[in-house]
Amino acid sequence: MDDELNSMVVRDFANRSIFFTLADILPDCEPGTTSESVCTCLRNGFLKVHDSQDNVDTFLSEKATFEWFVGLSMRLIRAQIVCLSQHQLLCLLSSLRVDGRWERIPEEVMAFGSRYAFVTEGNDEYVFPLVGLLSKAQSHTIRKTRELLHSMARDSRYREMFENNLDFSINAGLSCFQEQTATVIRKREGLDGRAETLEEIARQLGLTRERVRQIESKFWTRQKYLKDDSVFEPFLHGFLSEFIKNNGRRVIERTHPMRFLAKCLEVPEARVLKTSLLLLGSDKEFLRLDPDDLESFVKEIRWLCEKDLDVLASAYEPIFREKRKKSQKVFMALESIGRPAHFSEVAKKYVELFPDDIMSENSVHAILNRQGGTIVWVGAKGIYALSKWGYERPEKSLFDTVADIVKSIYEATGRPVTFNAIMAEIGKHRKVVVPSSIPMALAFNDRIKRLSKDQYSPASETKEDKAGFDERLDQALREFMDQSD
């Protein structure tokens, strides 16, 4: 009964394109079949996701999940969209349900998609590495990729992607050429080690340099125009398998065999300047990390997987560290503190981060003062913050700010202003205030008059002003009395 049940599950439910429950499958089973025996049959080749909305376990075959991700990737490639928000992906995943929508993205589905380099989780978004790799490729390569992946899904051969050997795929493709051609290409592309020059190959094979160049040129012409499936498909299979096994990595060394396959498949590449790295799938000629213009570089790499970013960071760190300006180092020191800090604290952090480039506190203080756009003085003596944290340089001095607060409250209430009222308002004008500076701003402020121990008014409220106010009040009362009569 178990064998018959297993056959029935594979036949009737492995091809279903939406999630199903045990209640869907049990009516088709033999009488007496238990839920436990069905679950046993669904352990291999099926994803199990608990639907919290209906409080029930649901199942979907890995085959159907793989095909769904292939279809989604091809749609994103056509639209040139490399990432989706959580809301967008949730809406798309609803197509895998009979009705309703998921309350959250199923972890089991994302884990499967990540295993085959279809999707990875980024910062508040979901990135699709395969889309990034092929979105700029030739239409023939995209079409062949779709056909290959769909056929592997239909035949449940997608697990072969982890078993394929890169060298085997390259050998299979080159075996369609004459031995001399394959040898020239291997040596020129460095598939067996170091890439060799035309002269070196010519001497080894007893040919002229021009003849070696002709053989190489003929090979690439055939790859570009003939699109021979007997050559193309082994190369494509090896390329995709290696990409998946490497978890969707697109940054490779220039000597990596993946570069040769990318050239054969017309997948574009960008040289990462001042490194030995390449970025596959980029339509730019090169990438350059400029310490003074990080925005353009970050824009190009923001959809790479975490491992690719780590490789780029490791490659550029020595270069970036060497060419950083002192102002950039001071910025990094303050940024590493993570909050507004006194220049003396920034100087200590600078020495800690850059022990080979000692700088005095006064020099750090001077640089902090000069960085008006990215670093701002927050209004407290010697304390600075990054503008990206939301801080701004105060437009007025603390004395003027306190005087304006006293005047504003006095005019609104007509009463003396208390110290507590001033302290309550000061935070609206400055994010950082040294509490001991407020009493000084009150005591030595020409625009403020102290009425008592804890009460203040604008200094312009003199006896002359008071007499004028009384006179205006008497005039208003007389006019009121005249109207009453």
- pLDDT tens track for 39-60: 888 888 899 999 888 889 999 9
Dump pLDDT digits (tens) for 331-344.
Answer: 889 988 989 999 99
What CATH number does the domain containing 408 carry? 1.10.10
43 and 119 housed in the same domain: yes
pLDDT band at 187 (very low <50, low <70, confident <90, very high): very high
144 and 113 housed in the same domain: no
Q: Which residues 6+ apart lie within 8 Å of 319 measured at CB?
A: 274, 275, 289
- Full domain range(s) for residue 18: 2-128
| Residue where one domain finishes, among candidates 336, 366, 389 | 389
CA dihedral angle for residue 227, residue 231, residue 237, residue 239, rounded to 10 degrees: -80
| Residue where one domain finishes, among candidates 105, 128, 151 | 128
334 and 290 housed in the same domain: no
260 and 341 housed in the same domain: no
160 and 298 housed in the same domain: yes
Mean pLDDT of the chain, nearest integer? 85
User: What pairing do the DSSP bridges indicate for beta strands 286-287 and 269-272?
Assistant: parallel
Measured distance CA(464)–CA(230) in Å, rounded: 103
User: Given this model, what pLDDT does residue 475 score?
Assistant: 62
Answer yes or no: is pLDDT of 83 > 70.
yes
60 and 177 housed in the same domain: no
Inter-CA distances, 432 with 26, 274, 370, 391, 465, Å: 67, 43, 20, 9, 36
Please check whether residue 207 lies inside any domain of the structure.
Answer: yes
Please check whether residue 482 lies inside any domain of the structure.
Answer: no
Give the position of tokens 């999630």.
19
Measured distance CA(132)–CA(281) in Å, rounded: 6
247 and 308 housed in the same domain: yes
Please check whether residue 134 lies inside any domain of the structure.
Answer: no
Please check whether residue 474 lies inside any domain of the structure.
Answer: no
User: Given this model, what pLDDT does residue 464 score?
Assistant: 46
Inter-CA distances, 238 with 147, 182, 244, 305, Å: 15, 17, 10, 20
369 and 300 housed in the same domain: no
Measured distance CA(53)–CA(69) in Å, rounded: 24
Please check whether residue 353 lies inside any domain of the structure.
Answer: yes
Please check whether residue 468 lies inside any domain of the structure.
Answer: no
pLDDT band at 128 (very low <50, low <70, confident <90, very high): very high
With contact defined as beta carbons under 8 Å apart, do 109 and 64 qualify? no
Please check whether residue 471 lies inside any domain of the structure.
Answer: no
pTM score, whole prediction:
0.65
| Residue where one domain finishes, among candidates 101, 128, 155 | 128
What CATH number does the domain containing 328 carry? 1.10.10.10
End-to-end CA distance of the chain: 111
pLDDT band at 76 (very low <50, low <70, confident <90, very high): very high
Q: Which residues 6+ apart lie within 8 Å of 28 measured at CB?
A: 8, 12
With contact defined as beta carbons under 8 Å apart, do 256 and 167 qualify? no
> Tokens for 412?
């609104």
181 and 296 housed in the same domain: yes
315 and 328 housed in the same domain: no
pLDDT band at 210 (very low <50, low <70, confident <90, very high): very high
Q: How many distinct structural domains can be found in the chain?
A: 4
User: Given this model, what pLDDT does residue 480 score?
Assistant: 53
User: Given this model, what pLDDT does residue 427 score?
Assistant: 77
Please check whether residue 483 lies inside any domain of the structure.
Answer: no
Answer yes or no: is pLDDT of 271 > 60.
yes
> Tokens for 378?
């927050």
Residue type, 140: H
292 and 162 housed in the same domain: yes
273 and 329 housed in the same domain: no
Of 371 and 110, the structure prediction assigns the larger pLDDT to: 110
Measured distance CA(265)–CA(235) in Å, rounded: 8
With contact defined as beta carbons under 8 Å apart, do 193 and 110 qualify? no
User: Given this model, what pLDDT does residue 7 score?
Assistant: 62
